[in-house]
Amino acid sequence: MHKREQGSRVKIVSTGFYAPEKVLTNADLEKMVDTTDEWIVSRSGVKERRIASAEQATSDLCIEAARRALRNGHFKVEDIDLIIVATASPDTIFPSTACWVQEGLKADHVAAFDIGAGCTGFLYGLILAESLILSGVSKRILLIGGEVLSKITNWKDRATCVLFGDAAGAAVLEESRDDSGILSHYWKADGSLAGLLFQPAGGTRMPASVQTVAGDLHYIQMKGNEVFKHAVKRMGESAVEALKRAGLRKEDIRWFIPHQANTRIIDATAERLQVPPEKVYVNIQRYGNVSVACIPICLHELHVAGKLKKGDIILLDAFGAGFTWAAVAYRW
């Protein structure tokens, strides 16, 4: 246990991300399924996405993102004491992807585990990391959100294959020495709606078999328009609650960083919050929906572009399979 001061906060001290080099454009997809660039852009906002190579597993993307986050913060692997990986596309059902990452980083002194909360996983991880640091269990945590969704995507299903991409984002977290850091959070789940977005086969509910593979049941299945309605409702709810808990007004928000599933979901949530477009960060056009990697990549891009100023209020907001949803109010 580490000593901590009363009333202290937890902050992100470094970020990094990695996206595979291979770019798959909407023009490429037009040759693979019955779709058009116009449909994909107008319905989702995605223009291109990155695709992992045959050799790359989720942990490989996570390891590279983690190395970059450590390097950007001038940390050595020895400086961290816990690895948390959020993912919906683990290397293996067991052991956890975090253990594959730990081995890759040669971080044999740390504990490592995964959290599964769909696309909300990075925010669930942030909330968990905050409490682990504030309670003295951990001092410095490496939190990674990584996905290789391309390997659990049905490339014959135009309703899903145009949406997702592969990437990983990482952050190093520690106790804050000033008033910056996590101000509040709100997190919830509703397992009764699990069947609207899930990977049916491969677990103990429906073990992998010749039949499940023949039926494409090991791929992501999503009732997109149903998910859409819940995402708009729940992301609005999360944002409002996190702001309220931090005692903030919508005018205080400098950056709204939503999960990047669909520009129409982002626009509807921003409209509900009355946050103007220039305060909303959107990069879905370049990466697609990279699930847990969306928010750390947005944070990293804003940071390196010099757009995050000390004291800026940031609202992070996500929704994903489960369903799960969460928001975090943060002072940079």
Site residues (CB under 6 A) for ligand UT7?
35, 39-40, 43-44, 119, 158-159, 162-163, 224-225, 227-228, 231, 261-262, 265, 289, 319-320
At which residue do the structure tokens 């959100």 appear? 145
Nearer to ligand UT7, 30 or 312 (CB): 30
CA dist 241 and 270 (Å) reads 14
Provide the 3-class DSSP secondary structure of residue 296: helix
Q: What is the closest distance, in whole angstroms, from the C-beta atom of residue 196 to ligand UT7 in the complex? A: 9
- The one catalytic residue in 99, 161, 262, 289 is 289
Residue with smaller CB distance to ligand UT7, 159 or 217 = 159
CA dist 279 and 79 (Å) reads: 34
Phi, psi angle pair for 30, to nearest 5°: -60, -25
Tokens of 91: 């290397």
Query: Which residue minimizes CB distance to ligand UT7?
Result: 224
* Minimal distance, residue 40 CB to ligand UT7, in Å: 6
> Any catalytic annotation for residue 119?
yes
Phi, psi of 324 (to 5 degrees): -130, 150
CA distance 213 to 159: 19
Catalytic one of 259, 262, 294, 300: 259
- DSSP-derived letter for residue 64 is H
Residues in the chain, total: 332
Shortest spacing between CB 69 and ligand UT7, in angstroms: 23
146 vs 320, which CB is nearer to ligand UT7? Answer: 320
* Residue number, 146 or 181, with CB nearest to ligand UT7: 146
CB of 224 to ligand UT7, least distance (A): 3
We find the least distance from the C-beta atom of residue 231 to ligand UT7, in angstroms, to be: 4
Q: What is the enclosing helix (H) or strand (E) of 70?
A: helix 58-72
Closer residue to ligand UT7 in complex, CB, 73/224:
224
What is the amino acid identity at position 85?
Answer: V
Query: One of 62, 119, 161, 298 is an active-site residue; which one?
Result: 119
Q: Is 259 a catalytic residue?
A: yes
Query: Count of CB atoms within 10 A of residue 118's CB?
Result: 24
Which of 90, 181 has the CB closer to ligand UT7?
A: 90
Q: Tell me the β-bridge partners of 173.
A: 12, 141
Place of tokens 């997109």: 224
Any idea which residues carry the catalytic annotation? 119, 259, 289
